[in-house]
Structure 1
């Protein structure tokens, strides 16, 4: 009887330790067989609704590749960016393959297992504007950005990129009137009305800017890039085993050329290295 009780206790402890070792997020996705990812609905060419009203783009394809490599079904959600970036998902989402920059503030609520591409931030203006030609010209201007984005933090002069604390950013402008938007589509629509009507400029990703400009000649890039930022996969804090699993899978996608192939498909160049 004593031996049986000890055996039962030992099995219970082993099961408990095994579950604890798996980690809460890894445990959850493994049990459900589903990976729930978040990204933006209108951020081409990274994520957008195609003509079939389905999510498409670089981030979408990377998320699909990650799920496939994990042997999981992918479910994508598109809450607003401020909801995504605020963290504290409480199990609603498992992963963000959504062009997130690892800021110092975000590191308080997220872990960043792996970087999967880099991109610079640029100024976009109305095609008829010739007054804004560099970062210094943003002083006193009304500039549109995605709400809770690193671009908003940059214009407020309080962006610190996680892991790059020793390389402070350069702010060539004085005070800027920051205009946050839920998505860039509305911001571009406002900028298209003309300089000073609702916006004077926008700050966004170079790749996104080029995609918009290729489809709409009412915009142009002004001046040089403002700064370069890494883009990482983000997950809820507190599960090192999940972090390691995600980092390993993305490393595999880099090594076997999948990320490079997807990058060339959507961007026309390899931004994954």
Structure 2
């Protein structure tokens, strides 16, 4: 009898322990799963729902990066990326807020919640992928050297012992770091706030060349005539993408899919032709 009674007591104790653990999981463990588990994280991602609820997408950009995003003569922010973003926002039924940021701290601006995305000719790099979730690439680019049109430079080796300028925090710096021999051959590398300042230093003779995005370089040359020239050999091939917080898969997917729709119905071709004279987009192709 004593043995049978002991078995019953143990059975009741074990059942109670399971019930207690189940209740604990419902109150605390369930909430934690949504924050740390992979399936819970996916279920908890309401990034697009939050944007839809507030009715506004805050786009972070460098407002001195023509033709992707910059201020025109009326101090209005315009550009290729701006036209793309406006069309996306219109199709999604939300407002677009353009928020100029410090490009050096772009990923911090994103991850602290000051902006919802970075959309401004941002190069997809392995380093940025650690902190940023990227959309599909939407444009090809490369880093090139720009010199004055009347200079004697024809290849990068001609710049040995010379001074090169580039934008601080840009992919031009990353490209240069990858070309150790070329960098070592230079007299000096000057980092400035934006490409406009770099080009001004080139024009005044303070530097001998500027390392920058080909898309931007070609635009400067188009606007300024034959004053500048791009050396034939580029330093690094790149792709542009839109950056989101790593957890905002829902928002990234919604915008990415909308861009693909725009590519399919010809809207991106229309915008690209407006800015570049032809369709140079790659998303949805």
TM over 0.5: yes
Note if contact 1:135-1:172 (Cα within 8 Å) is conserved in structure 2.
Answer: no
1:171-197 deviation line (CA, Å, top 9, x unaligned): 772514322211111111111012xxx
**Which consecutive residues of structure 1, in runs of 5 or more, have no partner in the other structure?**
1-8, 158-169
TM-superposed CA distance for 1:212, in Å, is 1.2
Residue aligning to 2:215? 207
1:227 pairs, out of 232, 236, 256, with: 236
1:193 counterpart = 2:204: yes
1:143 counterpart = 2:164: yes
Note if contact 2:272-2:281 (Cα within 8 Å) is conserved in structure 1.
Answer: yes
1:253 counterpart = 2:250: no
Greater relative contact order: 1 or 2 (C-alpha under 8 angstroms, separation 6 or more)? 1
TM-superposed CA distance for 1:115, in Å, is 1.2
Residue aligning to 2:43? 21
* Structure 1 residues 119 and 19: alpha-carbon distance in aligned structure 2, compared to 1, 3 A threshold: closer
Matches within 5 A, 1:126-137: 126-130=148-152, 132-137=153-158
TM-superposed CA distance for 1:225, in Å, is 2.8
* Structure 1 residues 174 and 47: alpha-carbon distance in aligned structure 2, compared to 1, 3 A threshold: closer
Note if contact 2:60-2:101 (Cα within 8 Å) is conserved in structure 1.
Answer: yes
TM-superposed CA distance for 1:51, in Å, is 2.5
2:124 pairs, out of 102, 112, 121, with: 102
Take 1:40 and 1:27, find their aligned partners in 2: how far apart are those partners? 27
TM-score with structure 2 setting the length: 0.78
TM-superposed CA distance for 1:81, in Å, is 1.5
SS at match of 1:114: coil
Matches within 5 A, 1:51-90: 51-86=73-108, 88-90=110-112
SS at match of 2:111: coil
SS at match of 2:271: helix
SS at match of 1:144: strand
Matches within 5 A, 1:107-122: 107-122=129-144
SS at match of 2:124: coil
1:40 pairs, out of 58, 62, 66, with: 62
TM-score with structure 1 setting the length: 0.81
Take 1:85 and 1:127, find their aligned partners in 2: how far apart are those partners? 36
TM-superposed CA distance for 1:24, in Å, is 4.5
Note if contact 2:68-2:81 (Cα within 8 Å) is conserved in structure 1.
Answer: yes
Residue aligning to 1:3? none
Number of residues of Structure 1 aligned to a counterpart in Structure 2: 244
Take 1:127 and 1:73, find their aligned partners in 2: how far apart are those partners? 43
Note if contact 2:269-2:279 (Cα within 8 Å) is conserved in structure 1.
Answer: yes
Take 1:138 and 1:222, find their aligned partners in 2: how far apart are those partners? 11
Take 2:264 and 2:122, find their aligned partners in 1: how far apart are those partners? 22
1:271 counterpart = 2:270: no
Take 2:140 and 2:105, find their aligned partners in 1: how far apart are those partners? 23
Note if contact 2:110-2:244 (Cα within 8 Å) is conserved in structure 1.
Answer: no
SS at match of 2:158: helix
SS at match of 1:83: helix
Which of the two has higher C-alpha Rg? 2
* Structure 1 residues 77 and 174: alpha-carbon distance in aligned structure 2, compared to 1, 3 A threshold: closer
Note if contact 1:111-1:237 (Cα within 8 Å) is conserved in structure 2.
Answer: yes
